């Protein structure tokens, strides 16, 4: 009797999971010994074990299991990042976060699009589409880096919050430009602003409600009957926050980030946790986030298309250089310098200029454009992968060094 196709698929996926966990555990130890963020090693190991080299990890980018890992993994990592945010810090820097997450995305997209038009020689609309895809930062990369490299609180939390809040703006900008490219409509600043406001407010509302409910059920003095099930509650609520927001056409990532903020600021909400229960929950979140990082970045590395990258390697690297060295600094100085309330120092702004890795979110947007057969999608996907590799390998590995040079390490 021949085994069914579904059984064979299940065995294949199970084997891939085992391989990813095994090489991910070893890679984590290597990263710790080398004192670099583990996402860097995971990405390199993924490239080594992917179909282009050893062929031990082979899960297609457009498969349902890959999309599940990307969505849930990014959501949980973002929830973890939100839980480390302190409301007292947000009160001080909220103006910068709002401006850099909205106007900043437009500035980055415009400058990067101009560079793409010049270096790649593509039509203006394709260049702008590439700029839009690369314009949003990546919480799945930044949150783990700041978990491992302890930067001064307000700088780290500003960059993490930006990465959470600007994904909605990046997606809106991408699909607005795509609509113009496909002749489906014209750009309307008013409609885009209204859509962004709707996605943001709904995401914040859903995440806030679920976050308060979760804190109530696990930390209320009388009604916290789910205290011992707190880890399970976080899993349910992360899924509920993302799916609830997505079902209402809001930002799912923003919802899970706000949910994390609510749960991480329970004392500000009037709740108190037993220290033992809190330690168990923190251990669970830390372990789950580590597993999600392994899966996301090993798979991301395994799915790098070297043949496609080679076609546009030099021109793509030039675009990414402008993106890193011109677009990002211009965005930070234009958006953070006018914020008199935050009073950013030159060293803080220089650090924020350098720290804006590209990863899962831009990669997912590029993948969607390829699936939709958008104009220039293959070029966009190629340059996006180049940006992911260069920003993670260069910026993530130098984060601690730069922070030390600028005197921004928390222990200092």
DSSP of 121-164, one letter per residue?
---HHHHHHHHHHHHS--HHHHHHHHHHS-B-HHHHHHHHHHHH
Within a domain: residue 411?
Answer: no
**Tokens standing for residue 318:** 């030039």
Which two structure tokens, joined as six digits, stand for 63? 């498969």
- Answer for the pair 97, 156: CB distance below 8 angstroms, yes or no: no
Dihedral sign computed on CA atoms, order 41, 42, 43, 46: positive
pLDDT tens digits for 338-358?
A: 888 878 888 888 998 888 877
- Residue 400 domain flag: yes
* CA neighbor of 332 nearest in space, from 321, 346, 316: 346
227 and 260 in one domain? yes
**pLDDT digits 0-9 by tens, 270-280:** 666 665 666 77
* pLDDT for residue 18: 85
Kindly state whether residues 159 and 99 are assigned to the same domain: yes
pLDDT for residue 89: 74
35, 86: one domain: no
Q: According to the model, what pLDDT value does residue 95 have?
A: 86
Compute the distance between CA of residue 153 and CA of residue 150 in angstroms, rounded to an integer: 8
Q: Are residues 251 and 349 in the same domain?
A: yes
Q: What is the pLDDT of residue 220?
A: 63
Domain count, the chain: 2
pLDDT at 326: 92
Please report whether residue 184 resides in a domain: yes
- 166, 101 contact by CB (below 8 A): yes
pLDDT value at residue 329: 92
pLDDT at residue 111, as a whole number: 93
* Same-domain status, 337 and 195: yes
Scanning the structure block, which residue is given the tokens 């830390």?
A: 286
Residue 410 within any structural domain of the chain: no
Looking at the fold, whether 52 and 73 belong to one and the same domain comes out as no
Query: Residues 386, 320: contact at Cβ < 8 Å?
Result: yes
Same domain for 250 and 389?
yes
Which of 22, 38, 60 corresponds to the end of one domain?
60
Q: Do 10 and 123 reside in the same domain of the chain?
A: no
Q: Are residues 36 and 121 in the same domain?
A: no
Identify whether residues 152 and 16 lie together within a single domain.
no
For residues 380 and 130, is the Cβ–Cβ distance under 8 A? yes
**Based on the domain organization, do 355 and 391 belong to the same domain?**
yes
CB atoms near residue 398 (< 10 Å): 14
d(CA 170, CA 159): 16
Q: Determine, yes or no, domain membership for 209.
A: yes
d(CA 93, CA 82): 15
Confidence (pLDDT) at 35: 73
Which residue range is the domain that position 390 belongs to?
Answer: 68-405
Residues 14 and 122 in one domain: no
Task: Report pLDDT for 191.
Answer: 67
Q: In tens digits, what is the pLDDT along the chain, a chain of 412 residues?
A: 456 777 877 887 788 888 888 888 888 888 878 777 777 788 888 888 877 778 777 777 667 787 788 778 878 877 877 777 777 777 788 888 888 888 888 899 899 999 999 998 888 888 888 888 888 777 767 777 777 778 888 888 888 878 777 776 777 777 777 777 666 555 555 666 676 677 778 888 888 888 888 877 776 666 666 667 778 878 888 888 888 888 887 777 778 888 888 887 777 666 666 656 667 777 887 888 888 888 888 887 787 777 777 888 888 899 999 999 999 999 999 988 888 887 888 888 899 888 887 777 787 777 767 766 777 777 888 888 888 888 888 888 888 888 888 888 876 4
The total of other beta-carbon atoms located within 10 Å of residue 248's CB is: 15
**Which residues pair with residue 151 across a beta bridge?**
409
Final residue before a domain boundary, out of 20, 44, 60: 60
Using CA atoms, how far apart are residues 108 and 135, in angstroms rounded to an integer? Answer: 5
Residue 412 in any domain: the answer is no
What pLDDT does 178 receive? 76
Termini Cα distance of the chain? 67
For residue 164, what are the contacts with CB-CB under 8 A and spacing of at least 6?
Answer: 78, 81, 82, 139, 253, 254, 257
What is the CATH classification number for the domain harbouring 321?
1.20.1530.20
């Amino acid at each position: 009797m021949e085994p069914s196709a579904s059984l064979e698929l299940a065995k294949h996926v199970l084997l891939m999971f085992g391989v990813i966990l095994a090489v991910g555990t070893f890679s984590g130890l290597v990263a710790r010994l080398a004192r670099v963020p583990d996402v860097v090693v995971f990405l390199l190991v993924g490239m080594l074990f992917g179909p282009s080299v050893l062929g031990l990890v082979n899960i297609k980018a457009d498969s349902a299991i890959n999309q599940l890992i990307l969505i849930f993994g990014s959501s949980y990592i973002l929830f973890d990042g939100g839980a480390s945010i302190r409301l007292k810090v947000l009160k001080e820097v909220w103006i910068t976060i709002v401006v850099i997450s909205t106007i900043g995305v437009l500035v980055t997209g415009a400058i990067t699009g101009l560079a793409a038009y010049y270096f790649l020689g593509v039509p203006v609309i394709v260049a702008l589409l590439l700029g839009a895809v690369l314009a949003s930062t990546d919480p799945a990369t930044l949150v783990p880096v700041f978990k491992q490299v302890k930067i001064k609180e307000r700088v780290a939390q500003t960059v993490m919050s930006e990465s959470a809040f600007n994904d909605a703006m990046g997606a809106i900008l991408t699909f607005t430009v795509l609509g113009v490219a496909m002749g489906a409509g014209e750009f309307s600043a008013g409609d885009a602003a209204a859509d962004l406001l709707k996605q943001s407010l709904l995401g914040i509302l859903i995440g806030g409600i679920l976050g308060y409910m979760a804190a109530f059920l696990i930390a209320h003095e009388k009604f916290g009957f789910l205290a011992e099930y707190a880890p399970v509650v976080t899993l349910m609520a992360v899924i509920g926050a993302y799916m609830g927001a997505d079902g209402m056409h809001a930002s799912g990532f923003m919802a899970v980030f706000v949910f994390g903020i609510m749960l991480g600021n329970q004392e500000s909400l009037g709740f108190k946790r037993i220290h033992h229960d809190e330690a168990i929950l923190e251990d669970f979140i830390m372990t789950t986030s580590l597993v999600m990082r392994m899966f996301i970045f090993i798979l991301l590395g395994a799915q790098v298309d070297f043949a496609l990258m080679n076609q546009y390697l030099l021109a793509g690297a030039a675009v990414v250089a402008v993106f890193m060295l011109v677009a990002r600094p211009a965005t930070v100085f234009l958006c953070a310098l006018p914020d008199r309330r935050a009073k950013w120092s030159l060293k803080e702004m220089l650090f924020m200029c350098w720290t804006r890795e590209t990863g899962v979110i831009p990669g997912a947007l590029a993948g969607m454009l390829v699936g939709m057969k958008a104009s220039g999608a293959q070029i966009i996907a190629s340059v996006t992968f180049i940006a992911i590799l260069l920003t993670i390998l260069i910026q993530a590995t130098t984060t601690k060094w730069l922070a030390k040079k600028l005197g921004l390490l928390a222990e200092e």
